[in-house]
Structures are given as structure tokens and as C-alpha cells.
Amino acid sequence: MSLKATIVILGILWSFQATLGIRFVIDREECFSHKADYEGDTLHVSFVVIKSDSQWHFNEDGVDLVIHGPTGEQIHDFREQISAKHDFVVQKKGVYRFCFTNKSPYHETIDFDVQLGHFAYYDQHAKDEHFTPLMEQISKLEEALYNIQFEQHWLEAQTDRQAIVNENMSKRAVHKALFESFALIGASCLQIYLLRRLFERKLGMSRV
Amino acid sequence: MRLDLESGGSKCISDEIKLNSMTVGTYHIVNPNETIHLPPSHKLSVTVTSPKGHSHHHAENVESGKFVFTADETGDYMTCFVAPGYRPPAKFAVDFEWKSGVEAKDWANIAKRGHINMLEVEVRKLLDVTDTIHDEMFQLREREREMYELNRSTNSRMAALSLLSLVVTLSVASLQLWHLKSFLERKKLL
């Protein structure tokens, strides 16, 4: 019994709680699924709209995200958010679906992160004598660190978005000033041309 | 994580990987029925490209696969799954695991090779994760400094360009005045 318990514990602990931080380009709709193997786990999910495909249009409307459980029921719904974070406890084990919908006419780049927190499962094994209080504390620490990583990923994605906004703003400032100068010079040339024509015509008529 | 693909469709996913960190990716088409083989329409073409465009992995018409490489530059690496067109169009799901850096380390092997016990492995893992978090925080600070520089330069640029606009307006107006004056003097109207 003890050997089996040790192997089970090793199996749980050595499976790294991976967060999958990915970026993808969405056209109209894009769906992802993630398998939750244990009930009682906490599922953390976050997304940030990084940028729009076009240079001049900036997406303020955001995208929609709908989370569906294994039997199709709706777990949570985000409407028109640029950046959001949510966590919930897994009630039923199975495949959870995350579906994004893009309402704007441009392609959007979205940064998406999902993390499963396993710690709740450890409570069952705390009764086992091999699972010392020390291991339990270490597992809690591990879970806390993974949560920090998850939050940091979200922060990083939001910073990326801000950086892109700033760069666009800088470019726009330069373009605006140059365009303004050229428009001004063009308008005054037009003015001169029209005034000369007016006076020449007037002169022509009065001389005759 | 699982992606849904249709025959003739493609999905691309990118992830930022740091220089010299190892990255491991495994993918396989989900078989809803364990006993029978996948039909010929369920096939994938996979490419993994570096930020500069080099291909690190390429597979055509496979049902599953794995890629391992060490990143030679920091940036966004893109994995693209393409389902070849087939009549009638088939829909299937692909299970994809992509880990890089600390997560890609094979802890079971490290423990066996080093003959160290479970506790030490866990604490080492924690140390690695903390290092990664610290590195990421440095990156964030660096990025914030860059943004501050950009904002400062945008600010000074806007001031300079507004001044330029004003100078252009005044000079154009005075040029106009001088030109019209000489023109009208020439035509004996002034």
C-alpha cells in the first residue's frame, strides 16, 4: 500500500502544473479545449487583446469569451472585454471549451493563458503517513508560485498591449505633423494661384 | 490543450521563448474511438518557425509527433497545424502540449540520475520556478523603462513638431504676403 501511495504521490507531484500561455490571431471565432482531470481543482483563465491587424484602427471593443463545461453548460461569459481574468473550481472532470468571438472587422491578436491548480487533490493524501506536513507545505508553496507566474503572464501581456499603443501613438504624432505641414503649404499655394488668376482676370477686363 | 481543425483549415499558435531555453512540443490527433484506426482524412501538417523565419520542425501528413529544440534567439515562435483538404471535409481535434524553459525539464530523469530524494526534487523545482519569475520580472522592468523612454521621446517630438507647424504657418503666410505685394505692385495696382 505504501509503495503504491508513494508512486501515486510522485505521479501527481512530478506532473508539472504547466500554464499554457499562447498567442493566436483570431478572425471571427476561435475555440480551444483543455482537459481537467480532477474534480476540486481550480482552473485559472486569462486573456488580453494585444493588437489589431490594421495600423490605424485601434480595438477598444474587445472580444467575447464563453467557457463551457464538459456537458456543454455555460460556466462563465465575458462580453466585449479587452483583458480579463477568472478562476473557478472544477465541478465535473472532462474537457472544458473556451470559445472566443471577434466582433470587429479586423483580425486581433489575443494572448490566452490557462492554468490548473492541483492542490485541492492533496487534501485526500494528507491522511497518508508518507505525505508529511513538510510536503504539504511545499505543495502549497508550489501552487502559490504557479499562481504568481500566471498573474505575471497576464501583466506581461497587458504591458505588451500598452507598448503597442504607445508606439502607434508616436508614429501617429509624426505623421500628423508632417501631413499638417504639407497641407498648409499646399493650401497657401492654391490661395496664391487663385488670387493671381482673379487679379489677372480683373486686370484683363478693366484694361479692355 | 486541444484545438479543433477542419479539412483545408489551419491554426497557428505562437509563444515567446527565451534564448537558449529548451522547448518540447507533442501533438496527436484525438481518436474518439480507441479501437479503430483514424480515417485517412485525419492527417496533419505541422511546421514550427523561429521569429526570423527558420524552420525548426516540419512534418507532413502525420497523425502525431514531437519536436524538441533549443531556442537560438528570443522571440515569438509559431507552430502551425494545417489539415490537408479532403472531400468530404472532416473535423477533428488535436491535443497539443508545448512546454519551454523550466517546464521542459524532465524532473523524473534528473531525480533518477542524481539519486536525490523526492523532497529535494520538489525544492529544486521551486527554485527554478522562482528564478524564472525573477527573470520575467526583470524583463518587465526593462520593458517599462523602454516605454518610459518612448513616451518621453514622443512628448518632445510633439513639442518640436508643433513648433515646426507654427514656423511653417508663419513663414508661408509671410511668403504669401510678400509675393502678393510684389505681384500687385508689378501690375500697378498698389
pLDDT in tens, A49-83: 998 887 677 777 889 999 999 998 999 999 999 99
pLDDT at A12: 47
Give me the number of domains chain B comprises.
1
Task: Using the predicted structure, report yes or no on whether residue A101 has a pLDDT greater than 90.
Answer: yes
pLDDT greater than 90 at residue A128? no
Domains and CATH numbers, chain A: 17-166 (2.60.120.680)
Buried b (16+ CB within 10 A) or exposed e, A164-199: eebeeebeebeeebeebbeebeeebeeebeeeeeee
What is the pLDDT at residue B189?
75
Residue B165 forms contact with A (CB below 8 Å): yes
Flag whether B80 is in a domain: yes
Inter-chain residue contact A34 with B1, CB threshold 8 Å: yes
Distance from the Cα of B87 to chain A's closest Cα (Å) equals 23
Specify if B145 maps to a domain.
no
pTM of the model: 0.82
Contact, A87 vs A43, CB < 8 A? yes
Nearest one of A130, A143, A1, A27 to B12, comparing CA atoms: A27
Q: What is the pLDDT of residue A10?
A: 46
Q: What is the DSSP letter of B101?
A: G
Cα torsion angle, B145, B147, B150, B151, sign: negative
Q: Do A203 and B76 touch (CB under 8 A)?
A: no
Q: Which residues of B touch A175 (CB under 8 A)?
A: none
Q: How far is B74 from chain A (nearest CA, A)?
A: 15
Residue B183 is assigned to a structural domain of this protein: no
CB B72 within 8 A of CB B91: no
Give the Å distances, CA to CA, from A208 to A70, A181, A201, A202, A203. Answer: 94, 41, 11, 10, 9
Is residue B96 included in any domain, yes or no?
yes
CATH for B13: 2.60.120.380
- Let me know the angle formed at the C-alpha of A159 by A158 and A164, rounded to the nearest 5 degrees: 100
Please state which of the ranges A90-94, A116-120, B67-71, B148-152 shows the lowest mean pLDDT: A116-120
When pLDDT is averaged across residues B138-155 and rounded to a whole number, the result is 91
In 3D, which of B25, B76, B32 has the Cα closest to residue A111?
B76
Q: Which of B6, B92, B165 to mutate to test the interface with A (most CBs of A within 10 A)?
A: B165
- Predicted local confidence at residue A67, as pLDDT: 94
Q: What is the residue whose three cell numbers read 540520475?
A: B113
> Is residue B148 domain-resident?
no
Domain-embedded: residue B74:
yes
User: Which residues between 37 and 66 in chain A have a beta carbon less than 8 angstroms from any beta carbon of chain B?
Assistant: none
pLDDT reading at A2 higher than 80 = no
- pLDDT tens-digit readout, B12-61: 999 888 888 888 999 988 888 777 887 888 888 999 998 888 888 898 88
Residues A103, A54 contacting (CB under 8 angstroms): no
Alpha carbons A2 and A17: distance in angstroms, whole number: 25
CA B127 – CA A141 distance, rounded (Å): 11
- Domain housing B80: 2-100
Q: Is the pLDDT of residue B118 over 90?
A: no
Greatest alpha-carbon pair distance for chain A in Å reads 121
A181 touching B, CB under 8 A? yes
Among B residues 130-149, those touching chain A with beta carbons less than 8 Å apart: 130, 132-133, 136-137, 139-140, 143-144, 146-147
The answer as to whether B72 is a domain residue is yes
B161 to A174: CB separation less than 8 angstroms, yes or no: yes
Record: contact A177-B169, CB cut-off 8 A: no
Alpha helices in chain A (DSSP H): 2-14, 122-125, 133-207
Flag the least confident range among A100-104, A172-176, A198-202. A198-202
ipTM: 0.81
Q: What is the mean pLDDT of chain B?
A: 86
Q: Is A76 helix (H, G, I), strand (E, B) or coil?
A: strand
Given this model, what pLDDT does residue A6 score?
46
Q: Is residue B179 part of a domain?
A: no
- Rounded to 10 deg, the angle between the A133-207 and B118-186 helix axes is 10
Q: What is the pLDDT of residue A110?
A: 93
Dump pLDDT digits (tens) for B46-60. 999 988 888 888 988
pLDDT for B190 equals 67
Confidence (pLDDT) at A123:
55
Decide: helix, strand or coil at residue A145. helix
- The pLDDT, as a whole number, for residue A120 is 46
